Structure 1
Amino acid sequence: MSSIFTKIVNGEIPCYKIAEDDNYLAFLDVNPNAKGHTLCIPKFEVDKIFDMDEAHYLGLMHFARKVAIALEKAVPCKRVGMAVVGLEVPHAHVHLIPLNEMDEMRFQNKVSLSTAEFEALAENIKAKM
């Protein structure tokens, strides 16, 4: 059965896309820890990040690095944190979270953004790529 991320990759569910190449996709998390919280995923289905072959794992990290650099330029923050948890969706993914305080990394406090705010934020980050 396809995960929600596979449905996003296939265009069955919309997303606020940041970046994309042949193998990976980055989009804003719709339930963000902080403004700019972005997910980077492989376009192919794989449950656990360490189940990926080395080339794809390194490719995802390279892709996430490019997105994080743009994210830090677009969203005022002290740094961009990275987390790989993988319990909430059975599809490997990397969280990139603009951080100003540790609570933003704890996955407990969420921020709310309007559709217009998500769209403007996605365009701003894309412009920094």
Structure 2
Amino acid sequence: MTTLFTRIIDGEIPGRFVWSDPTCVAFLTIAPVRPGHALVVPRAEVDHWLDADPGLMAHLVDVARIVGRAQLEAFGGVRSGLVVQGYGVPHLHLHVLPTHGPEDFHGIEGPPAPDSELDDAAERLRDALAAGGQAEPVEEARALSAR
């Protein structure tokens, strides 16, 4: 059975993508802790991060690092947070979010955000990624989001 995230990646369910490459995508969560809160998700359905190939994990963390820097540029914050919790959807995903303190990690999901807020956050994050030299994956992500 395909996961919710595979359905988003395949375009069955809309997503606000900010990164896309042959190995993974990053899109905004619909329940952000902070504006710009994104999920880095492999295209391959891997349930638990401990089951992922080390090369895949290295790539996901590298993409999370790039997205995290762009989040701090676009939204500010003290640090970029990275959480791999493994609950909710049985498809490996890394939460990446700009943080202002440890309180941002109490309840990794916030309440659902309005579409306009998510659209604005996706555009700001894409702009920051493109400004950081990541234009190609951003353009691929824009195409995915436009489906």
TM class by smaller structure = over 0.9
CA pair 62-33 structure 1, distance change in 2 beyond 3 A: same
Pairing 1:1-129 to 2, within 5 Å after superposition: 1-107=1-107, 110-129=110-129
User: What TM-score results when the alignment is normalised by the length of structure 2?
Assistant: 0.82
In 2 relative to 1, CA 70–109 (structure 1 residues): closer, same or farther, beyond 3 Å?
A: closer
Aligned partners of 1:44, 1:71: CA distance in 2, in Å? 25
Q: Partners of 1:108 and 1:79 in 2: how far apart?
A: 15
Q: Give the superposition deviation at 1:115.
A: 1.0
User: Matches of 1:57 and 1:4 in 2, distance apart?
Assistant: 20
Distance in 2 of aligned mates of 1:109 and 1:126? 21
- How far the C-alpha of 1:112 sits from its partner, in A, is 4.8
SS of 2:97's equivalent?
A: strand
Q: Which runs of 5+ in 2 are unaligned?
A: 130-147
Identity over aligned pairs, percent:
32
Provide the C-alpha distance between the structure 2 equivalents of 1:52 and 1:88, rounded to a whole number of angstroms. Answer: 18
Partner secondary structure for residue 64 of structure 2:
helix
2: distance between equivalents of 1:24 and 1:72? 21
What per-residue deviation string (whole Å, max 9, x for no partner) do you get for residues 10-63 of structure 1? 111101111111111101110111221110010110001121111111111111
TM-score, normalised by the number of residues in structure 1: 0.93
Structure 1 gaps of 5+ residues are none
RMSD value, Cα: 1.4
**Counterparts of 2:59 and 2:113, CA distance in 1:** 30
SS at match of 2:76: coil
Runs of 4 or more off by more than 6 Å in structure 1?
none
Give, in whole Å, the separation in 2 of the partners of 1:28 and 1:108: 13
